[in-house]
Amino acid sequence: MSSKFKDLIFYEIYPTSFYDSNGDGIGDLNGINEKLDYVKELGCNAIWLNPFYSSPFKDGGYDVKDFFKVDEKFGTNEDFKNLATKAHKLGIKVIVDLVIGHSSEENEEFLKSASPYRNENSDLFIWTDSVWSFEPNIRLLNGRFPRDGAYMVNFFAMQPAFNYGFNKITNPNWQMSYKDERTFKARNYMLKVMKFWLDLGCDGFRVDMADYLVKNDDTKEGTIEVWKYLFSKIRKDYPDAYFVSEWSSPDKALLAGFDADFVLDHNNNFINLLGRNQEKMIVKGNSREQFIKDLLWRQENANKYNGVLAPISGNHDSRRVATSLNEKELQLVYMILLSLPGNPFIYYGDEIGMVQSELISKDGGYQRTGARTPMQWDDSPNAGFSSTKNELYLPVFKGNKNNLKDEMNDPSSIYHFIKKLIRIRKENDDLRSSYLDVKDENDILTIIRGQTKLIINFSKKDLSLEGKEIIFTNSKGNILKPFEAALVK
Ligand code: NOJ
Ligand code: CA
């Protein structure tokens, strides 16, 4: 990875819910633009924007209708350009979501592919050779379009899969090898999409379902080969573009050429794998031992392939991390997150301790919508998110006690806690290096980063830190009570 990206701390923004600049009740790109100073003040130097492309929003915008156009509700392509320009002036990198595996069923390229007459797009998506085809273990949808075939579903039903080919072929009548040149059309189409947004000013991509390009590809060798091809092309013109993968297998993603790979657990944030205490694990079956083994294995691969890990506080798919943790536990989460090597990601609102809203569903979010409610800026109507007098597109969650204004006024808030940790990370060479070791002795967990150590007391007894230089702690003085931790030298 380019050294330019080594020290990035990301802030993830779900465009619908960050800030509404024009009072129509929906967040937008100009709203994000207006709040970039805030992102900078927090200490983040990069943002990841969830999809803002033209879409019917049956999956939060991950169902793209037009890959080259900002959706009207978020603004215009010009607004994106302005946002990138402003971000760069503030020293903030901008990455956008690359939804590489599927489009919306309303996408023009797909509709052309769905035509009964053969045309240049016929092989751009995966279709069977007959509308009556059935194939075990492959999700096919038939009877929706005039073409005599069924299309392969990539995620939700309305998300047809682009055709990057197959590794193991079970039906040669319609499955093509990923080495078959006909499948290169999808690769080249996505290269066009990447170039388009890079030219408009983005610095890279978070790649959606990056591990699932080639189908029937258990070993992932096909998908890895496709990525190597894509990187060989795109890095020629954009050597510094940053790519982080939704793959969660650094041994494959970083080998394929990604700069970073998320560390995440789809049941909950990976942070929760630590468990809240010995007896009552948040995620059953995940012991601290496994967590440590997994983390060290990931870091080993990151070092091996010259990439980094991207640990997250949460994201638009996971349950808000603050929801089920007490104050001390939440502090531990951020002490760990910001002490790990790589590029940490903070999900908007997590820095003020926003919690999961009750069950609502919008834009195909289902239970995930609970983590996508509007950012709570202050205590004014609509939490300062929008000036509209009408109903908001997505309601503010009243169960959230926290808002940024109060958090800023309270020196003991989680907001100030995180902000301080970010500052420390930026100034500490150990924390920004790639060195990681972890020790777990007598329920004292130590995350070792060169000369700097994060000591966490998971035992039931007090732990004295006498003689150690304390850089940061959530304890009072140099005694760590249970669930307290300290960064020391
Ligand atoms: C992962 C995204 O994070 C999620 O929100 C989306 O529904 C699926 N991929 C499908 O694109
Ligand atoms: Ca708006």
Q: pLDDT value at position 93?
A: 98
**Per-residue pLDDT at 283 exceeds 50:** no
pLDDT band at 5 (very low <50, low <70, confident <90, very high): confident
Q: pLDDT value at position 150?
A: 98
Rounded to an integer, what is the distance from CA 1 to the centroid of its chain?
Answer: 18
**Residue 336 pairs with which residues in a beta bridge?**
none
Which atom of ligand 1 is nearest to 99's Cα? 11
* Higher pLDDT among residues 286 and 439, named by residue: 439
62 close to ligand 1 (CB < 6 Angstrom): yes
**Per-residue pLDDT at 267 exceeds 70:** no
24 Cα to the center of ligand 2, angstroms: 5
Q: pLDDT value at position 405?
A: 98
Q: Contact, 282 vs 276, CB < 8 A? A: yes
pLDDT, tens digit, for every residue of 415-446? 999 999 999 999 999 999 999 999 999 989 99
Q: pLDDT value at position 386?
A: 98
The identity of residue 263, as a single letter, is V
Residue nearest to atom 7 of ligand 1 (CA): 59
pLDDT, tens digit, for every residue of 128-158? 999 999 999 999 999 999 999 999 999 999 9
- Closest-lying ligand to the alpha carbon of 101? 1
Distance between CA 277 and CA 224 in Å, rounded?
Answer: 39
Average pLDDT over residues 307-315: 94
155 close to ligand 1 (CB < 6 Angstrom): yes
Q: What is the chain's mean pLDDT, rounded?
A: 94
349 close to ligand 1 (CB < 6 Angstrom): no
Q: pLDDT value at position 27?
A: 98
385 Cα to the center of ligand 2, angstroms: 10
* Higher pLDDT among residues 295 and 375, named by residue: 375
pLDDT band at 264 (very low <50, low <70, confident <90, very high): low
% pLDDT > 70, the chain: 95
Residue nearest to atom 6 of ligand 1 (CA): 62
pLDDT, tens digit, for every residue of 462-476? 999 999 999 999 999
- Closest-lying ligand to the alpha carbon of 16? 2
- Token duo for residue 109: 């390229």
145 Cα to the center of ligand 2, angstroms: 34
Average pLDDT over residues 208-233: 98
Q: pLDDT value at position 286?
A: 52
- 102-161 folds as Oligo-1,6-glucosidase; domain 2 (3.90.400)
- Token duo for residue 321: 């991390």
- Closest-lying ligand to the alpha carbon of 312? 1
Q: pLDDT value at position 270?
A: 57
Top mutation candidate among 62, 205, 265, 266 for ligand 1, by most atoms within 8 Å of CB: 62
DSSP line for 251-304: HHHHHHT-SEEEE-BTTB-GGGGG-SSSS--SSTT--HHHHHHHHHHHHHHHHH
22 Cα to the center of ligand 2, angstroms: 5
- 437-488 folds as Immunoglobulin-like (2.60.40)
60 close to ligand 1 (CB < 6 Angstrom): yes
Top mutation candidate among 155, 211, 248, 316 for ligand 1, by most atoms within 8 Å of CB: 155
Q: Contact, 472 vs 486, CB < 8 A? A: yes
416 Cα to the center of ligand 1, angstroms: 31
Q: pLDDT value at position 311?
A: 93
Q: pLDDT value at position 275?
A: 55
204 Cα to the center of ligand 2, angstroms: 25
Distance between CA 298 and CA 293 in Å, rounded?
Answer: 9
Does domain 3-100+184-432 fall under CATH 3.20.20.80? My reply is yes
208 Cα to the center of ligand 1, angstroms: 6
344 Cα to the center of ligand 1, angstroms: 20
Q: pLDDT value at position 279?
A: 46
pLDDT, tens digit, for every residue of 325-376? 888 889 999 999 999 999 999 999 999 999 999 889 999 999 999 999 999 9
**Per-residue pLDDT at 273 exceeds 70:** no
393 Cα to the center of ligand 2, angstroms: 10
Q: pLDDT value at position 458?
A: 87
- Closest-lying ligand to the alpha carbon of 363? 1
Cβ neighbours of residue 74 under 8 Å, at least 6 residues apart? Answer: 15, 26, 27, 28, 29, 52
Q: pLDDT value at position 91?
A: 98
Same fold, 102-161 and 437-488: no
265 Cα to the center of ligand 1, angstroms: 14
211 close to ligand 1 (CB < 6 Angstrom): no
Average pLDDT over residues 201-224: 98
Distance between CA 165 and CA 210 in Å, rounded?
Answer: 14
Q: What are the residue boundaries of the structural domains of the chain, listed by start?
A: 3-100+184-432, 102-161, 437-488
Q: Which helix (H) or strand (E) holds 221?
A: helix 221-237
Which atom of ligand 1 is nearest to 156's Cα? 10
- Closest-lying ligand to the alpha carbon of 71? 2
Which atom of ligand 1 is nearest to 102's Cα? 11
- Closest-lying ligand to the alpha carbon of 98? 1
Residue 47: exposure state from Cβ atoms within 10 A (0-12, 13-18, ≥19): buried
Q: pLDDT value at position 284?
A: 43
**Per-residue pLDDT at 278 exceeds 70:** no
Top mutation candidate among 17, 53, 59, 213 for ligand 1, by most atoms within 8 Å of CB: 59
Residue 111: exposure state from Cβ atoms within 10 A (0-12, 13-18, ≥19): middle
Residue nearest to atom 2 of ligand 1 (CA): 208
- Closest-lying ligand to the alpha carbon of 34? 2
**Per-residue pLDDT at 103 exceeds 50:** yes
467 Cα to the center of ligand 1, angstroms: 48
pLDDT, tens digit, for every residue of 63-92? 999 999 999 999 999 999 999 999 999 999
Distance between CA 223 and CA 78 in Å, rounded?
Answer: 34
Distance between CA 309 and CA 38 in Å, rounded?
Answer: 25
**Per-residue pLDDT at 195 exceeds 90:** yes
76 Cα to the center of ligand 2, angstroms: 12
Q: Which helix (H) or strand (E) holds 198?
A: helix 184-199
% pLDDT > 90, the chain: 87
209 close to ligand 1 (CB < 6 Angstrom): yes
317 close to ligand 1 (CB < 6 Angstrom): yes
pLDDT, tens digit, for every residue of 162-194? 999 999 999 999 999 999 999 999 999 999 999
Which atom of ligand 1 is nearest to 101's Cα? 11
Residue nearest to atom 11 of ligand 1 (CA): 62
